[in-house]
Amino acid sequence: MKGPARASGRGSLLKFVPPEEVKNVRGSLDLWEYVEKVMPVVKEVKARGLEAVKKYNKAFDNYEGCVSLSQEDFASYSKESLVSLFEEVLEQLSAFHKQTAPKDSAFSSKGVRAVTLWRPVERLGAYVPGGLYPYPSTALMTAGVAKALGVKEVTVATPPKFATSEVMASAFLASKVDSVLAAGGAHGVSALAYVAGAHKVVGPGGPYVQAAKLLVSVDVPIDMIAGPTELAVIADSSADPEEVAYDMLAQAEHGPTSFALLVSTDEGLVLEVEKRVKGEEVEGGLYATVVRDLEEAKRLVSELAPEHVSVYAETYEPPVAGAASFKAPSPFLDYSAGPNHVLPTSGWAKARGPLGPVDFMRWTTLVEVFPEAADLLKLAAELARLEGMKYHAKAIEYKLSKIL
């Protein structure tokens, strides 16, 4: 079955695309362009520290107030009922992430005992974006989860206009954040790396934020490219068009660089969804295509590898995606289901999933050698000789001589 061979009607937000053009719905966003734009900012914050952050706060946000906020500061702005609300959400988020956290493991074979040890990152930087409204949920998903998993020190960077708001201060307090930097965008990310001295930087954001994360990753590890928002909906004739429409509108309201794509086996459903989104106001792109069957839908979505996938179909086999939900709206995953809402975008879902316990932890392996490892030591020495590493071979052969 082919998609509707017509343009969208006047006033419709939904753009119809043939299946072969689904790969183009992500648009022409070129992150390299943003890397070039933010490079001077990142370099200056690295060189001049807090003074550069203050400069860019003035230039971009017309803010000249305090940049560094302590627990006492944001505690004074918080509201008890909001703190309680956020703590209740964190119970579910923490339970999920603790359940899925990697455990220490040991391996023994042929005279070698190797142990893998997992430990929390000592000092984490979390970027919490803010547009027209604050995002307390992102504070919970990043800082709150990190503290629940044992990260010793967490610093959050967020735009100044929200840093001392009642909502965000309550989220910081519930999340047990240690300090807050009132700085957004590229200079906020840079402040986490070069002012707060974070050992890792995580968090979502627009292209300026993600470009800055790429640049600071030369010095400090990051989690992933996480933004702008992406959604694909897989639906058959059993789907509720109103539920599908709301799911798509929810992710498209993130901004003009976001998109929501409907991939359906039923043209009638697509037309019903079109009716329901008509006249609504969202900045992101809404797209739809009609496919032969759910297998084709899965293939197209997997090739796109968006951050969110919602499945409204009688059969369910998840495609490649950052996170998938079955007959549940993607915004539920954004808030309180348990899994993290910081998700890979730009096709990164082909190689990784949501922000999770592994992103808040470091791991190391310890190896112990016993006499029974003589044959493996001989193999190692032979490989070293093949690679021209004389002293590698001598070190191994000396150990071999001591255990024989």
Catalytic residue numbers read 307-308
219 annotated ligand binder = no
187 annotated ligand binder = no
SS3 letters for the chain?
CCCCCCCCCCCCCEEECCHHHHHHCCCCCCHHHHHHHHHHHHHHHHHHCHHHHHHHHHHHHCCCCCCEEEHHHHHHHCCHHHHHHHHHHHHHHHHHHHHCCCCCEEEEECCEEEEEEEEECCEEEEECCECCCECHHHHHHHHHHHHHCCCCEEEEEECHHHHCCHHHHHHHHHCCCCEEEECCHHHHHHHHHHCCCCCEEECCCCHHHHHHHHHHCCCCCECCCCCCCEEEEEECCCCCHHHHHHHHHHHHCCCCCCEEEEEECCHHHHHHHHHHHCCCCCCCEEEEEECCCHHHHHHHHHHHCCCEEEEECCCCCCCCCCEEEECCCHHHHHHCCCCCCCCCCCCHHHCCCCCCHHHHEEEEEEEEECHHHHHHHHHHHHHHHHCCCHHHHHHHHHHHHHHC
92 annotated ligand binder = no
For residues 45 and 194, the answer to whether their CB atoms sit within 8 Å is: yes
251 annotated ligand binder = yes
CA-to-CA distance for 81 and 171, rounded, in angstroms?
Answer: 11
392 annotated ligand binder = yes
Start-to-end CA span in the chain (Å): 71
97 annotated ligand binder = no
In order of 117, 173, 344, the CA distances from 92 in angstroms are 26, 17, 22
295 annotated ligand binder = no
For residues 122 and 93, the answer to whether their CB atoms sit within 8 Å is: no
Of 159, 151, 153, 78, the closest CA to residue 118 belongs to 151
Which residues make up each annotated binding site? 229, 251, 254, 308, 334, 387, 392
Which residues make up each annotated binding site for substrate? 229, 251, 254, 308, 334, 387, 392
Which residues make up each annotated binding site for Zn(2+)? 251, 254, 334, 392
